[in-house]
Amino acid sequence: MDTTGKRIPLIIDADPGVDDTLALKMAFESELLDVKLLCSVAGNVNLDLTTANSLYLTKKYGGDIPVARGGASPLARDKMDASAVHGAGGVGNYKIPRHGYTLDFTDGVQAIWETLCGSDQKCTLVTFGPMTNVARLFALHPDAVGRIERIFAMIAAVDGTGNITPYAEFNAYCDPDSLDAVVRSGVEIVFAPMHLGREARLSTEALLRRSAGTEFGEMLSQIFSGYRDSAAGEGYVAMYDANAVAAVLHPSLYDFVRCTPEVNTTDFPGQTFLRADDEGHCFYLEIKDTDALTEAMLDDMFR
């Protein structure tokens, strides 16, 4: 967390997504963050849907934060999605209502670059989906690496296990080539690996109780009626993406384990190992106090 009193300049790259929606609400509500841009990426559902969801959620709950349309497909792979989990539209059974919101940028990579160049401080990136946009940014603008403070990324697994295949976490599997390129760039990445989402779970009952009587609560009730993720257990939401935001807001609730990441792009694409290494240039997170963290997530979401 910034201790100088300044808000933390933040760029979010997202593929909403049910748990993405909750993580975005946390970021938008925080007085500690200066969210400068939200860029969509294909992941949980296709790019048209993640862009539509990003635009509505950001303008509705984030105000005048600019929104950009990012990458529609991985660097070198076929597209895939997780609509079976998140619903056909990405947000359960919720239907985005008619609105007059419009995109600020149609070229997401250029939007990220311009945002980085226009900031008087290095920006922190938070990524909820595949690393497609970040890899393309670094390929087109290598100097972008030096303009980024660090990346907090919900991606990968510590030990080579997975949730989309036995060996690969979903975001890493969608675009392993991009993840590998970002790792090799030398930028500092703080990984919020797959297992954290299942530890930092929130009950749907608690979420609906805290949001009762609000438009956001009505949206959540529809979202949860079409959400099909059994990873956290019946009646719970695995807060995968929220850990990437919470680690920016509440670093004292996590251990930051220095590591060297390894990404498999060949025989088991998307398989990752985050090997503890005192000389590594990255970190992965472990939760210190799950109860305190889940309460902090709820407080961040419903200020």
Domain 8-301, architecture per CATH: Alpha-Beta Complex (3.90)
Domain boundaries, the chain: 8-301
Q: What is the 3-state secondary structure (H, E, C) of 143-156?
A: HHHHHEEEEEECCC
Give pLDDT tens digits for 77-88.
777 776 777 667
What is the mean predicted confidence (pLDDT) over 163-169?
95
What is the mean predicted confidence (pLDDT) over 241-269?
98
- Please tell me the distance from the alpha carbon of residue 160 to that of residue 291, in angstroms, as a whole number: 27
Predicted confidence at residue 37, as pLDDT, reads 98
What is the mean predicted confidence (pLDDT) over 182-187?
98
Beta-bridge partner residues of 256: 285
- pLDDT exceeds cutoff 90 at 272: yes
Task: Kindly state the DSSP code that residue 141 receives in the 8-state scheme.
Answer: -
- Please tell me the distance from the alpha carbon of residue 22 to that of residue 229, in angstroms, as a whole number: 15
- pLDDT exceeds cutoff 90 at 212: yes
Predicted confidence at residue 44, as pLDDT, reads 80
Residue 302's identity, in one-letter code, is F
Predicted confidence at residue 282, as pLDDT, reads 98
What is the mean predicted confidence (pLDDT) over 185-191?
98
- Please tell me the distance from the alpha carbon of residue 95 to that of residue 225, in angstroms, as a whole number: 12
Predicted confidence at residue 192, as pLDDT, reads 98
Beta-bridge partner residues of 282: 259
Supply 239's token pair.
């807060």
- Please tell me the distance from the alpha carbon of residue 271 to that of residue 159, in angstroms, as a whole number: 9
Residues with Cβ within 8 Å of residue 118, at least 6 apart in sequence: none
What is the mean predicted confidence (pLDDT) over 95-108?
93
Give pLDDT tens digits for 199-210.
999 999 999 999
- For the chain, what is the mean pLDDT? 92
Predicted confidence at residue 2, as pLDDT, reads 43
Predicted confidence at residue 232, as pLDDT, reads 74
Predicted confidence at residue 3, as pLDDT, reads 44
Model confidence, pTM? 0.95
